[in-house]
Homo-oligomer: A and B are copies of this chain.
Amino acid sequence: MKTNINVVAEKAGVSIATVSRAFNEKELVKEETRSRIIKIARDLNYKPSPIARGLSTQTTDTIGVILPDLVGEFFMDIIHGIDEEAYKSNRYVMVSSSHSQRNMVETLIEFMASGRVDGVILMAPQMHKEVDDFLSKSKRPIVLINSCSDLTNVVNFQIDNYQGAMTCVEHLIWHGYKEIAIIKGPAENCDAQERYLGYRDALAKNNLNVNHLFEVIGDFQIKSGYYAFLKLMNQTNKPDAIFISNDMMAIGAYEAAKFLKIKIPEDVAVVGFDDIYLSKLLNPRLTTMHVPISELGAKALNYLLKMISDEVNPKQAYKEVFPTELVIGGSCGCSNFYQSLI
């Protein structure tokens, strides 16, 4: 026979209500009975069924994580941050990629409506309007991470792309570069947009002109960084520095530089963004912006748990912006940077 709450109750000579209380509301049951019940439960190897409890309480102790993709260390870091905190709080983590933008909303709705999860952490770098609509309707709490910052009435944990980009560009300006180009990310991507604004404002703040020939668009992938670099450096007016909106494209740029026999940083300085592991391995080490991505996942989870437990008002919009940190490599013209992996 399966050992459920009934057999424990019977063995212990109490009602199932008492067994339930012994496990949940410990203070409501006499210590002596409780310890007896617990001991019997252990002997029988009894564990309350989370499914049954879930049906009764409408909670599952699991949270959903929906990411645009499940590729590369970046997303792994997010999951890692979430997993660590979830483990501490005895929660389970269900992951899913968006499986194309089209399906993301469906996935989300299924997650929520189904009651499989108590809440969701969602990363949607290019937020569709439908998602925005849905967020406000959702019964279960949702925390956005790394998503567009122009959303109203949502809980959003983000990287400070704007300030980060500005710092990157100002670092180049500090080096004395005046012809600073940018390789942008995809137009519809919010990170890309914010980083672009940081770039623009850094130039403006320092009285440098904006040159449209110095703005090339990429897609955050290596290849586009390669071609963008070629395009920039094959012009008559060449930049003396390039702010590359993410490290992946910077890798492509390094390749292109090798191809063109252009030296970084002697012929053109570059800085990236994201501080992915790979950037340590470039030669010279890429100067880039570190983003605390794992920490962001961890913090998002903890906030979500508070929303679930009503420790914070789940209906209340909330925003947390995580500062980034410049990591000096040799690509910007700095010397004496820390290159070693060891």
Report if A115-B341 is in contact (Cβ < 8 Å); known contacts: A70-B80, A80-B70, A83-B70.
Answer: no
- B83 and A76 contacting across the interface, CB-CB below 8 Å: no
A73-B70 in contact (CB<8A): no
Q: Which residue of B lies closest to A110 (CB)?
A: B47
CB distance from A278 to the nearest CB of B (A): 6
In angstroms, Cα B116 to Cα A55, docked, is: 13
CB distance from A4 to the nearest CB of B (A): 11
- A114 at interface (Cβ–Cβ under 8 A)? yes
A341–B278 Cα distance when bound, in Å, is 13
**What is the number of residues of chain A that contact chain B, defined by CB distance less than 8 Å?**
47
- Closest Cβ–Cβ distance, residue A57 to chain B (whole Å): 10
Would you call A342 and B226 a contact (CB within 8 A)?
yes
Distance of A252 Cα from B280 Cα, bound (Å): 12
Given contacts A94-B62, A116-B50, contact A80 B71 (CB under 8 A): yes
A54 at interface, CB cutoff 8 A: yes
Taking the complex as formed, is A170 at the interface, i.e. its CB lies under 8 A from any CB of chain B? no
For residues 173 through 215 of chain A, which have their beta carbon under 8 Å from a beta carbon of chain B? none
Q: B-facing mask of A56-69, CB < 8 A → 1, else 0?
A: 00001010000000
Q: Does A92 contact B (CB under 8 A)?
A: yes
**In the assembly, what is the distance between CA of A114 and CA of B47, in Å?**
7
| Listed stretches A35-43, A95-103, A305-313; interface member | A95-103
Please give me the residue from chain B that is nearest to A342 by CB atom. Answer: B226
Q: A87 contacts which of B76, B96, B252 (Cβ < 8 Å)? A: B96
Q: Is there an interface contact between B342 and A113, defined as CB atoms closer than 8 Å?
A: no
Q: Is the interface of A mostly helix, strand, loop or mixed?
A: helix
B99 contacts A87, C-beta separation under 8 Å: yes
Within the complex, which residue of B110, B278, B341 is in contact with A281, where a contact is CB–CB below 8 Å?
B278
**A94 CB contacts on chain B under 8 angstroms:** 62, 92-95
State whether A223 touches B342 (Cβ < 8 A): yes
Partner of A79, one of B87, B95, B99, B282: B95
Would you call A340 an interface residue if the criterion is a C-beta within 8 Å of the partner chain's C-beta atoms?
yes
Q: How distant is A62 from chain B, measured CB to nearest CB, in Å?
A: 7
Neighbour of A282 across the interface among B114, B222, B281, CB < 8 A:
B281
Question: When chains A and B are docked, how far (Å) is the Cα of A70 from the Cα of B114?
Answer: 27
A81 to chain B, nearest CB (A): 9
What are 8 pairs between A and B in contact, CB < 8 Å?
A: A49-B55, A51-B114, A71-B73, A80-B97, A83-B97, A93-B95, A94-B95, A223-B342
Given A71-B76, A83-B96, 20 more A-B residue pairs with CB atoms under 8 Å apart are A47-B114, A49-B115, A51-B51, A51-B60, A55-B55, A62-B94, A70-B83, A75-B76, A79-B95, A83-B95, A92-B96, A93-B95, A223-B341, A223-B342, A226-B341, A252-B341, A277-B278, A278-B278, A281-B282, A283-B283
